[in-house]
Amino acid sequence: MAEVLVYVDHVDGAVRKPTLELLTLARRLGEPVAVHLGPNAADAAKTLGEYGATRVLAADAPEFADYLVVPKVDALQAAYDAVSPAAVLVPSSAEGKEIAARLAVRLGSGIVTDAVDLEAGDEGPVTTQSVFAAAFTTKSRITRGTPVITVKPNSATPEAAPAAGAVEELAVGFGDTATGTKVTSRTPRESTGRPELTEAAIVVSGGRGLNGAENFPLIEGLADSLGAAVGASRAAVDAGWYPHSHQVGQTGKSVSPQLYIATGISGAIQHRAGMQTSKTIVAINKDSEAPIFDLVDYGVVGDLFQVVPQLTEEIKARKG
Amino acid sequence: MSLRIVVCVKYVPDATGDRHFAEDRTTDRESVDGLLSELDEYAVEQALQIADSDGVDDAEITVLTVGPEDAKDALRKALSMGADKAVHVEDDDLHGTDALGTSYVLAKAIEKTGYDLVVCGMASTDGTMGVLPAMLAERLGVPQVTLLSEVSVADGKVTGRRDGDTATEQLEAPLPAVASVTDQSGEARYPSFKGIMAAKKKPVESLDLDDLDIEAEEVGLEGAWTKVEDVAERPPRAAGTVVDDEGEGGKQLAAFLAERKFV
Ligand SMILES: Cc1cc2nc3c(=O)[nH]c(=O)nc-3n(C[C@H](O)[C@H](O)[C@H](O)COP(=O)(O)OP(=O)(O)OC[C@H]3O[C@@H](n4cnc5c(N)ncnc54)[C@H](O)[C@@H]3O)c2cc1C
Ligand SMILES: Nc1ncnc2c1ncn2[C@@H]1O[C@H](COP(=O)(O)O)[C@@H](O)[C@H]1O
């Protein structure tokens, strides 16, 4: 059976959820072979095997952390040469897309980014994408080379499918360009204790209607009552009310949770681009004409300073 | 230090318009007005600031686009912001070129123009792939210093801050290099009246595929590495329930969430 390379996104060996989704999708095309770069491959391999990786090609070298992107491309290319896969799947993070882009150039292969679904087809994988702020759905095929596909988080439900997950050492020779861009310092983002925005099942976002940083605890309180991640519109981020890493939209994170709650957000096209594929959408806005109401399953026209506290209380009461 | 900067800018359909696909499943550039991609304005802005910065004297900024005839509008806007000259790669055979093809054409045009630093936007507002800068660096064989929210050039080096998924990184690379900047890098300036007038006299060089030694088969819809097989308008979301808050809005919403099993 054909093998499919899956690039593993992990933090010190803790595999992030989008990778498990990729393994699940990869099984539609062939046998997943995971590529793990960096430390703690053995830990990661347990999880990767559980979700269907037959093999885990692992490499660790200081270059992966000390230089930007290219060492990882060299390694993924080494894995490609070793496996001759039917396709290469990479998570659609900012870095993932750059790795995939360079690999595609090197292989002379077509690339599809931000796939939200993928199936096997007679002439290779057929990918689904959501374009123009999710107003259209397209299906594409890669016509040249080995398909390189980046897949958005929350595109599939991870399904366990125990496989060997055997760790094999991957030999990587770094090229001249690998050490081109030095990472001179790295400050890890502090964990908020809340779910990761792109991976969360529920996202509660606040916009300009929040009227100040001091009111964001209102959003955090609602989020915590639901076990949700916190998002923000660009207006709120630009005003300095919430960190940019929480921005939802075209130039922020793209989210596709089961439930998205927009509070004090008008629903500009660039915001919609990042949340329109959410399964259930709820909005609280005092302007009944706000475009966000065109998207909602349930909307409340009202003052968020009244509605949100009541909602949070009621959720807590119902949860007991 | 003298510095030749090439800024890659894309002409895109206005995102606030009703964007569609044409018969051949390429982006319809007729029905919606086009403009300089807003995210590339940030690239022009940072190039202007780098050119003005202390470590740099004698900078020349060329704005480069690959696109249809109307794409000149995007170049004019960038020139009116303050860029010195423009290069427009225009050829009927380019219609339908995908990211790999575009990066190939851009790389050839950048090499022909001559450069120390290439500056791109973080993504185009129509394709939103965010892959071109990495592809350019790969093709040109120079460092990629991408997705910067802060950038500066001094002593033959480009440095900047990259706010990644899990960490903030400080990057450094020797020139020549390819950089891309995000919309966190600082508001782009508005063209002044003087700038608009001056732009009319600035040179715009037109190049076609022959000028770049590119065969028609290597690009365009036929040369594309990917094929869009199906395009469907997303069905409108079923109209939801919208209630006015008359004191019980929060509770009503909680009941809805409970009914949907979120609570
Ligand atoms: C190139 C580009 C990229 C962009 N990328 C993004 C992006 O990634 N993400 C993003 O979000 N935006 C993005 N934007 C900006 C976008 O166009 C909007 O400006 C932004 O989304 C507006 O944020 P907002 O809805 O919070 O603010 P506004 O549009 O000002 O809306 C605030 C809303 O709050 C409501 N409100 C006010 N007070 C209350 C109250 N007490 N109770 C209830 N409701 C209240 C108002 O009725 C209003 O509808 C981008 C723009 C450009 C040009
Ligand atoms: N046709 C084009 N002409 C010039 N520059 C482009 C073109 N397409 C993309 N770019 C540049 O590449 C960046 C990323 O684009 P993309 O990878 O298409 O999202 C843009 O912000 C531009 O700087």
Total Cβ atoms within 10 A of residue A103 = 26
- Residues A3-169, CATH architecture: 3-Layer(aba) Sandwich (3.40)
Would you say residue B251 lies in a domain? Answer: no
Phi, psi of A253, deg, nearest 5 = -85, 150
Which ligand is nearest the CA of A215, by number?
1
Q: Are strands A148-151 and A111-119 parallel, antiparallel or unpaired?
A: parallel
Dist. CA A111–CA A106, nearest whole Å = 11
Name residue B154's beta-bridge partners: B157
pLDDT at B18: 82
What contacts B197, CB < 8 A, 6 or more positions away? Answer: none
A33 CA: distance to closest CA in chain B (Å) = 24
pLDDT, tens only, A124-153:
999 999 888 778 899 999 999 999 999 999
Beta bridge partners of B117: B5, B177
CA B64 – ligand 2 centroid, Å: 10
Q: Domain with B13 in it: what CATH number?
A: 3.40.50.620
What per-residue confidence (pLDDT) applies to B30? 76
pLDDT of residue A12: 92
Give the tens place of pLDDT for each residue, A36-60: 999 999 999 999 999 999 999 999 9
* Best mean pLDDT range from A130-134, B125-129, B256-260: B256-260
C-alpha angle with apex B77: B133 to A251, nearest 5 degrees?
45
Hey, what amino acid is at B87? Answer: V
Peptide bond before A153: cis, by omega within 30 degrees of 0? Answer: no
Inside any domain, residue B62: yes
- Closest C-alpha among B142, B85, B90 to residue B111: B142
Return the pLDDT at A134: 78
Print the domain residue range for B180. Answer: 3-218
Question: What's the rounded Cα separation, in Å, for the pair B64 and B119?
Answer: 10
pLDDT one-digit tens code per residue, A185-239: 999 988 889 999 999 999 999 999 999 999 999 999 999 999 999 999 999 999 9
- What percent of chain A is predicted at pLDDT more than 90? 95
The pLDDT confidence band at residue A181, using thresholds 50, 70 and 90, is very high
Q: CB distance from A296 to chain B under 8 Å?
A: yes
List own/partner pairs for B29-35 with CB under 8 A and 24 or more apart: B29/B68, B29/B70, B34/B70, B34/B71, B34/B73, B34/B74, B35/B11, B35/B73, B35/B74, B35/B77
Give the residue among B88, B142, B149 at the shortest CA–CA distance from B122.
B149
Q: Which amino acid is at B243?
A: V
Of the residues A250, A254, A255, which should be mutated to test ligand 1's pocket, given the most ligand atoms within 8 Å of the CB?
A250
Q: Tell me, what's the pLDDT at B188?
A: 97
d(CA A41, CA A8): 10
- The pTM for the full model equals 0.95
DSSP code, position B17: S
Residue B247 lies in a domain: no
pLDDT digits (tens, 9 = 90+) for B7-43: 999 999 888 888 888 888 888 777 788 999 999 999 9
Binding residues of A for FAD: 208, 233-234, 247-251, 264-271, 285
Residue A231 is predicted with a pLDDT of: 98
When pLDDT is averaged across residues B135-144 and rounded to a whole number, the result is: 98
Which residue from A228, A173, A239 is spatially nearest to A205, judged by alpha carbons?
A228
pLDDT in the model for residue A169: 98
Q: Is CATH 3.40.50.1220 the right assignment for the domain spanning A197-319?
A: yes
Ligand 1 atom at minimal distance to the Cα of residue A305? 41
Q: Is B207 left (phi over 0), alpha (psi -120 to 50) or beta?
A: beta
A177 chain-B contacts, CB cut-off 8 A: 138, 141-143
State the pLDDT at residue B126: 84
Q: For B62, list phi and psi in degrees, rounded to 5.
A: -110, 130
Q: Region B146-151: what's the mean pLDDT?
A: 98
Q: How far is the CA of B126 from the centre of ligand 2 (A)?
A: 10
Q: Is A144 on the interface with B (CB under 8 A)?
A: yes
| CA-based nearest residue to B124, from B46, B37, B28 | B37
Q: Are A262 and A292 in contact (CB under 8 A)?
A: yes
Q: Which of B16, B164, B254 comes nearest A95 by C-beta? A: B164
Per-residue confidence band for A34, with pLDDT thresholds at 50, 70 and 90: very high
Q: For the residues A108-114, what does the mean pLDDT come to?
A: 95
CA–CA distances in Å: residue A284 to residues A116, A261, A317, B237, B238: 28, 8, 20, 18, 18
For residue B154, tell me if it sits in a domain. yes
pLDDT score for B28 = 79
Q: What is the pLDDT of residues B169-227, one digit of tens each?
A: 999 999 999 999 999 999 999 999 999 999 999 999 999 999 999 999 999 988 888 88
pLDDT of residue B20: 80
Residues 53-72 of A with CB under 8 A from B: 68-70
Q: Which of B120, B147, B151 has the most ligand 2 atoms within 8 A of CB, as the residue to mutate?
A: B120
Alpha carbon dihedral B16, A94, A232, A192, in 10-degree steps, equals 170
Q: What angle do CA A264, A267, A268 make, to 5 degrees?
A: 125
**Residue B25: its pLDDT value, please?**
80
∠ CA B102-B105-B108, nearest 5°, is 145
Domains contained in chain B, number: 1
Q: Hunting for tokens 């899990």 — which residue is that?
A: B166
Strands (E), A143-294: 148-151, 166-169, 182-188, 202-206, 229-232, 259-263, 280-285
